Chain A
């Protein structure tokens, strides 16, 4: 069997669980969690990175072999997102950027319009752009045209642990987009991550559900297994669910 690889821009991954650095009780749990789950890319809010700190920096806790995905969390418009992305690149965080523009502090839903504008600018500047959006096909198409390297639709409001509430919309993206679809936000349980992978998502990004678990290290491992299982099921081409029983030896079998 050919090795199952995921390409995003010039980056290649064999593990399809992406993680985040937010909300952990201690930064030292981050490398332990990464080690347990094998995640090869982790997102970090640039606003939390203190490059000037004399004592410690969150980046010190991310192993060198794990790809850093800086995000623009805290940006309220495309200009702020663009500035944060540039700061991240200048500071040596690489050219990957997850665009997060949030203008609604109540539900923390992404501003799709501002995200598209930021994507257009940053893709032209050579960034590998991963926009975080509410799932919407026309928008995803425009992001693709603008040069996004992937689309990150939310499963449910961020941090809500409610699962794949936007399943039908994400399925449409999966069926119609050429670039990878990474389900980001809202996934609360490994079974939900597995379900996203079964339906053909290219990867999932899980932060709160891991970092706020009583045991984040074990939870990271649980998510990794779930993502792998879901991916295998997708590749093995699951049978469609049917309402009625289907005999295992079809009567027309002799015709083939």
Chain B
């Protein structure tokens, strides 16, 4: 079984037609229910539901506090290489982009990890581009063994791997994997992924399942808003999370919902998600998947992130740099993957979280 089978069941289903037919009473009925079906989820993603943001927010707030408390988990990204053999036309690391490429040596990785561990951050997300020649599996494994000495939890956001590789990385100290499908629409997927291993739609789609089967504790998925039609992308990413949550009971499933912002290469998003719709989507995800964690990265502006605190967001990145080597040598680093919109220092973000009546959580696991 794979999520691809669930997707295929929707091949003949006209989402746009369904959404256009959602009436206010459908949204109201959904809001009265405790357990939502996929039809309810669609109702909440519809334009009609745009008039119900306040009742949706009230419910989302109550569910978030019930399941996650008045807390927000913090993590920080660490880019160890930006070499990439893929040609993803929206990404700054696209192999055709003439940018400063950099791969950290193991000594530099140690220095970066140590620099970050001087802050309060205890959960780290390690990232690379996809280049199995420049950054082979063995390099990643060695990097993890170094990084884990400094943190309570190590997750990776890298090229998709085989189940056996995830097992090896788990043994090396990884406990979570983040992998975005980027876009669920196959046609758009093909159009924006022009070359490289990433052109294999299904291998990427099955990645979270390989991670879960390998015994990773956390699997984080998502769509990159701006590529496919926004409402159907929101729907399929939510459905994917639901499928994983139902199928892999001992894996904690999370969602990340980045919106494209300017990267090197000047990609213009096909379907922009404005702030109001973005908030509506987050609320819909929370109502459909009450226990699923939702990450909001520094791609989002501070004012949006701060407002999402009570509305469903459960994880924030903070103090992020998306350039390689940026924590120790900010003036001698690579070109960043994307522009950061929330440039606040960790201390400033913590201050705001506390001011909003929430507790920032730095450590939520113990490497054992």
Residue positions of A touching B, CB distance < 8 A: 22-27, 46-50, 53, 55, 74, 76, 80, 83-84, 87, 103-106, 108, 159-161, 208, 211-212
Contact = CB atoms under 8 A, between A and B. Distances in A.
Given A23-B71, A208-B66, A212-B66, A50 B250 contact: no
B366 A212 contact: no
A26 B360 CA distance: 9
Contacts of B361: 48
A84 B252 CA distance: 19
B114 interface: no
Interface string B62-81: 00011111110000000000
A105 B251 contact: yes
Contacts, number: 76
A50 B69 contact: no
Contacts of B366: 46-47, 74, 84, 87
B121 to A, nearest CB: 11
Contacts of A108: 291
Given A80-B368, A84-B366, A159-B67, A26 B354 contact: yes
A25 B358 contact: yes
B72 to A, nearest CB: 11
A76 B122 CA distance: 21
A48 B123 CA distance: 12
Interface residues of B, number: 30
B365 A22 contact: no
A106 B120 contact: no
B275 interface: no
B69 A23 contact: yes
B120 A24 contact: no
B364 interface: yes
B359 A25 contact: yes
Contact of A103 (B65, B250, B357): B250
B123 to A, nearest CB: 11
Given A159-B66, A211-B69, A48 B252 contact: no
Interface in B172-219: 217
Q: Which 10 A-B pairs have the closest CB atoms?
A: A23-B69, A25-B70, A83-B368, A50-B363, A103-B250, A104-B249, A25-B357, A47-B366, A47-B365, A212-B65
Contacts of A76: 217, 250
A153 B240 CA distance: 33
Contacts of A46: 366
B70 A23 contact: yes
B108 interface: no
Interface string B230-272: 0000000000000001100111110000000000000000000
A103 B217 CA distance: 10
Contacts of A53: 120, 362-363
B245 A208 contact: no
Interface in B342-368: 354, 357-359, 361-366, 368
Given A27-B359, A84-B366, A212 B249 contact: no
A212 B250 contact: no
B322 interface: no
Contacts of B250: 76, 103-105
Contacts of B152: 47, 50
Interface string B218-233: 0000000000000000
B363 A22 contact: no
B68 A23 contact: yes
Given A105-B250, A105-B291, A106-B291, A74 B365 contact: yes
A106 B245 contact: yes
